[in-house]
Amino acid sequence: MLQVKLSRSEREVDHNDLDRLEAQLSARLPSSFKQFFLANNGGVSDRDWWDSGDDYDPVRVKRFKAIAPSGVADELETKYIGGCYLAMTGRQVIPVTILPFAIDDGGNFFCLDLVEGFVCFFAVDGFDPNLSVAENHVRAYRWLTSSFELFVSGLKDESEVDL
């Protein structure tokens, strides 16, 4: 996996913190995802653009969320992956099958599909009250790549994308 450099990361986490997150999600996380967050617990990447090379505009990864370290009082805050997941699934903003791990400049999510391991972009700013929750979820979901590892290794510097 291409290593990106993150700044402004949160306090380090360990395997127990990852185990606690997996228990909270009732899902196993890919090893590349766990390795990434053990090395960099959230933060701002030096390579922060995703360009699918398709009809969509490139999107900027503003910030990777963090995993809550053991003992933090604000564990359920949305700055943490688990807190964000609980808040967003509880309000039916996102389906329970995706895990937000990063945000763009507009507060939309980059998510890990907990069933298949895909990475998707999930636009939360386009909710249509005339559609069902399920229909809104389908409209908000954009597949990006088949794994977290490919997502991270595919991140580009702004100079490498056509904006």
Work out the average pLDDT over 42-63: 92
Mean pLDDT of the chain, nearest integer: 93
CATH of the domain at 75: 3.40.1580.10
DSSP state of 158: G
Q: What is the pLDDT of residue 163?
A: 76
Q: Are 157 and 46 in contact (CB under 8 A)?
A: yes
**Number of folded domains in the chain?**
1
pLDDT digits (tens, 9 = 90+) for 81-99: 999 999 999 999 999 999 9
Residue with the bigger pLDDT between 73 and 32: it is 32
- Is there a domain that residue 147 lies in? yes
SS3 54: coil
Domain limits for position 109: 6-156
Task: For 95-145, write each residue's pLDDT tens digit.
Answer: 999 999 999 999 999 999 999 999 999 999 888 889 999 999 999 999 999
Rounded to whole angstroms, the Cα distance separating 77 from 93 reads 16
User: CA–CA separation, 36 vs 160, rounded Å?
Assistant: 23
Residue 163 resides in a domain? no
The predicted structure's pLDDT at residue 54: 81
Do the domain assignments include residue 161? Answer: no
> Does residue 162 belong to any structural domain of this protein?
no
The pLDDT assigned to 64 comes to 98
Beta-carbon count within 10 A of 152 CB: 23
Domain assignment present for residue 27? The answer is yes
Check residue 3 and give its pLDDT.
Answer: 74
CB 31 within 8 A of CB 15: no
